Every structure is written in C-alpha cells, then in structure tokens.
Amino acid sequence: MQIKAAVVRDGKTQEVMVEDIVPGDIVILNAGDIVPGDCLILESKDVFVDEAMLTGETFPVEKFTSVLPADTALAQRTNALWMGTHIVSGNAKALVTLTGKDTEFGKVSERLKLKEPETDFEHGIRKFGFFLGEVTLLLVVIIFAINVYLQRPVLDSFLFSLALAVGLTPQLLPAIISINLAHGAKKMAQNKVIVKRLASIENFGSMNVICSDKTGTLTEGTVKVDSALDVNGNKNEKVFLYAYLNASYETGFTNPIDEAILNDRKIDLTEYGKQDEIPYDFIRKRLSIGVSHGDSHFVVTKGALANILDVCSTAEIEEGKIVEISSLQDKIQQHFEEFSDHGFRTLGIAYKNITAGTPLTKAMKRI
C-alpha cells in the first residue's frame, strides 16, 4: 500500500510518494492525512492531531502557528507536527524539517533495533555456566596431575581427563531450561497471557510491583457515560438531554467524550435545531452550542467543571427553581472530589436562554 502526500513544488500542488519527500518541502495536510515527516506549521486552521502513537494519549492535540523557544519540550511544541501522527480535523500548510530515521518516530524505531537487555534469569544462567566451567577445568587439572604423579602415560591421562570433562558438562541444561520455561508459557497462555521471551517468565515471577501504561494496554481506551446528575447529585434526564444536544451538534474534531454520550442512548432531536456554535478550545475549555426548540432559544455549554462554574451565576436545583450558585459551590466541589476519587472524569453542563438570532462569539463571557 503506497502512501502519498500533497506537496507544493514549483508553485504547484502535486501528489508524491512519502519516501520522495525531502526536508524543505511544503506539504498540504487535511483531516485524515498522515504526517509524512517532522514539520513546522506555516499556516493552520482548527488543526487537531492524534499523537497517540508517540505519547499514548487518546485525546487530539491542537496545533497552530507560533514561535517557541528552542528548548521547548517535544510534547509542548504546539507549532510542530511529528511523522506518523495523523490529522483529526482542520487543515494546515507545513514545512518539512526532518524525514526518515532523523524524525522523532525514526529515532524510536532505531532504538527498537538495539539488542534486548539481558534478564536477571539469563544473567544467572550465564554465571552458573561460568561456575560449572571453572569447576570442570579445576577437576580436569587435578585429575590430570594425579594421573601424571602416579606415573600413568601422559597421553592416556590427558584423554581420561578430557573424557571426564565432557561427562561433567551438563549438555542437557539448555534443553531442560527451555522445556521448563515453555511449560510455564503454556500455563500462562491458558490465562490469556502471551509470552514473547521465555527467559522473561522467571523475571515476571519475581516481581513485586508492575508499572504499565494503562490506556490501550490494560484498558480499551474508550469512555462510557456513568450518569448525568444535577447539582444535588441526583440523576437528571434534563442534564443528559442538554449534554446530548451539545454532543450531537458539535462539528469540531471527534472526541471520545462526545462519542460516549451519543452511544449511551439515542434521543429524538427532530424538534430541536442548531443555531450557532463556539468550538471547543484549550483556553475556554468548553464548547457552546446555540439551540432552538419551538419558540425558545438557548445556549448549551459543556466543558471542564471549573471553567463551567466560572461562567455560571445561578443553578437549577429542580425544574423551574433557580438559586444563586454561590450557595452550592461547596456541595458541587464535594461531589466533584468524590467522583474524582473513584476515577470518574466529570464535566459540567450549563445553559442560558437567549433571544432568537443572537450570534455566539468568544467575547461573550457568560457563554
């Protein structure tokens, strides 16, 4: 399967093979494209990039044109694209700076070619082998010296010592070790554990603490909705409806949170309509959607709980009953801490009634 990329050469955009791209080329990248090399962004519009293959993080990273210090950490270089990552949404024009094994992805692949480190078990077997060799050599020398001292023929004494050395050598030791480790690998396979290196089984058995990357390794990397709650911590269908409206009408990059909300259950939205949108960004940390329902018009905002609370002045404790949010701040924070202690990712949902035709802009502080 051949991968091509759009490159600007001689003032014209043309499709070329990825392996033919060289530093200095200007590439055009759109949603779904794989970045062909390490690049510096020249122009961008709403660019979000999936860098999971390098960082393990499932959430897309926003990229834009900027000038950063040379010592900026790789994960914080928001003006750079890395080879092997792919564009989730938006489009960009970028200058290729590095290709092939000189890229960050290339350096990772080069490190994978290094010899695998010796396990403690292999180190122990090697030391045991040297010990047996030293003992055998010492016995051979002693037996040969005794035979010579007893005035036996020198050649016969040497051959006898050599035969004894061969007899003392544990030729079946490698086979015995392999058979035992293979038996262990078979038992682990019955528990759905795949063993790639037999020698690692002994190390695995002697571990007290195992540290592992969780996302995509121990978990599936998917998000599911646990519940939609009001400010009192009770389940509330209106909260879920507004979250569903926000996720349904969102047109930015596809993210796991919105997918989880939409996949939890289906709601008929034929009576609702989208009016406007303020996309999510990493400054506001919230997404605002203008919605109409009959003669009513309102804005639904979803995002990080702290950012949602910052723009809210009131809270709805039950249908039609509004109170000052300052009186509930402690209770909301207590709920948030409880959810966080149980490993839940908690988002805030807010709404605001507006007049028909009101345009939504980031300058509106309460949206």
Catalytic residues, which ones? 213
Spatial separation of the C-alpha atoms in residues 308 and 300, rounded to whole Å: 11
Length of the chain equals 367
| Contact of 32 with 89, CB cutoff 8 Å | no
Dihedral pair phi/psi, residue 335, rounded to 5°: -60, -45
The identity of residue 273, as a single letter, is G
Task: Tell which residue, 234, 226, 227, has the closest CA to residue 319.
Answer: 234
HSE on the CB side for 113, CA within 13 Å? 6
Instruction: Tell me if 252 sits within 8 A of 289, measured CB to CB.
Output: no
Closest to 38 (Cα-Cα) out of 109, 111, 95, 76: 95
Cβ contacts of 280-283, under 8 Å, gap ≥ 24: 280/250, 280/252, 281/62, 282/62
Residue 53 CB-half CA count within 13 A: 16
β-strand partners of 30: 91
Q: Return the structure tokens found at 75.
A: 């994960």
User: Which residues, 6+ apart, have CB-to-CB distance to 5 below 8 Å?
Assistant: 15, 16, 18, 21, 27, 29, 33, 34, 36
Residue 366 to residues 77, 299, 362, Cα–Cα distance (Å): 31, 10, 9
Alpha-carbon gap, residue 124 to 222, rounded angstroms? 42
